[in-house]
Structure 1
Amino acid sequence: MTHVRLEHANITVSDPERTARWMNKVFGWNIRWQGGAIHQGRSIHMGEPDSYIALYGPKEAPTKGGDSYTHINGLNHLAVVVGDLDAVETRVSEAGFTPVNHADYEPGRRFYFRDHDGIEFEVVQYD
């Protein structure tokens, strides 16, 4: 089989610009593209040269879903691999989010946090 990789994920957020700002401060990601999107919405692509997260904001204010772990098509969390877990945790806290569920496990360390839209992120550093 040829090499297969995930290029991007597309998530709905309440304010793409706000989410893009904290992603830049916390992860150092930059805007790869931004513009109009489906249903007269707006998208901002944040990430690295070979992968990104598309932040979609609909024209009308989106509604909150239920607990992602209890319904089909829920997004449980997005995981981001970093080189310095402690430094990223500091930036997560400075952005106003609360790191939780810290764990050391084979082969690395991790913590989770939820952003202002309740989207859960896992941050992991592999040894």
Structure 2
Amino acid sequence: MPTAFVHTCLRVLDPDASLRFYELLGFERRGRLNFDTAHNLYLGLPGGPDVLELTVNDGRTDPYDLGDGYNHMAIVVDDLDHTVARLEEAGHLPERAPYHPGGNEQLPRICFYADPDGYRIELIDRRFDTPQDPDR
């Protein structure tokens, strides 16, 4: 039986651009692991374990095909408006302005961004428990 979720791996073309983006979201650089034809950069949030692995394949110049299976990774932020302003100041624009999903004001506001490689990131404006609707 699994005992812990370790990390998500994203393949990136420009590690510096990716690091700048994820650092704007509060991630910290934690380590690097070198291989013959690639290297991994590990990141985590303050006080937590390494949860994000950025893989850089040497010599890769073509963007990665994200396919239609990946949708997004979600991150809780303590102040969505401040985070949005910081990202916009750095040149990152959201898909649309922060909103309550489904117009339900009982749910926290969310906002979606694409990282430098096109991976979608959902920012959530405070911690909340996952809703538990009945099966359809």
Give the TM-score, by structure 2 length. Answer: 0.74
Q: Which has the larger radius of gyration?
A: 2
Instruction: Give 1:91's aligned residue.
Output: 86
- Assess if the C-alpha contact under 8 Å between 1:111 and 1:123 holds in 2: yes
Amino acid at match of 1:17: D
Deviation at 1:6? Answer: 2.7
- Distance change (3 Å), C-alpha of 1:58 and 1:67: closer
Q: Is the 8 A contact 1:16 1:43 kept in 2?
A: no
Distance 1:67 1:36, change over 3 A: closer
Unaligned runs of 5+ in 2: 129-136
Q: Does 1:10 align with 2:9?
A: yes
Root mean square deviation of aligned Cα:
2.3
> Kindly, what percent of the aligned residue pairs are identical?
24
Quick check: 2:75–2:122 contact (8 Å CA) kept in 1? Answer: yes
Query: C-alpha displacement at 1:51, in angstroms?
Result: 4.0
Q: Which residue of 2 aligns with 1:23?
A: 22
Query: Structure 1 unaligned runs (5+)?
Result: none
More helix by share: 1
| Whole-angstrom CA distance in 2 between matches of 1:64 and 1:17 | 15
Higher strand share: 1
**Matched residue, 1:117:** 117
CA distance in 1, matches of 2:66, 2:52: 21
Amino acid at match of 2:100: D
Structure 2 distance, partners of 1:6, 1:107, is 25
User: Is residue 2:72 matched to residue 1:77?
Assistant: yes
Paired residues in the alignment total 120
Q: Structure 2 residue aligned with 1:47, among 44, 48, 52?
A: 44
Tell me, in whole angstroms, the C-alpha distance in 1 between the residues paired with 2:10 and 2:123.
Answer: 18
Letter in 1 for 2:60: A
Separation in structure 1 between the aligned mates of residue 52 and residue 66 of structure 2, nearest angstrom = 21
Look up the match of 2:100: 104
TM-score, normalised on structure 1? 0.79
Return the alpha-carbon distance in structure 1 between the equivalents of residues 22 and 5 of structure 2: 19
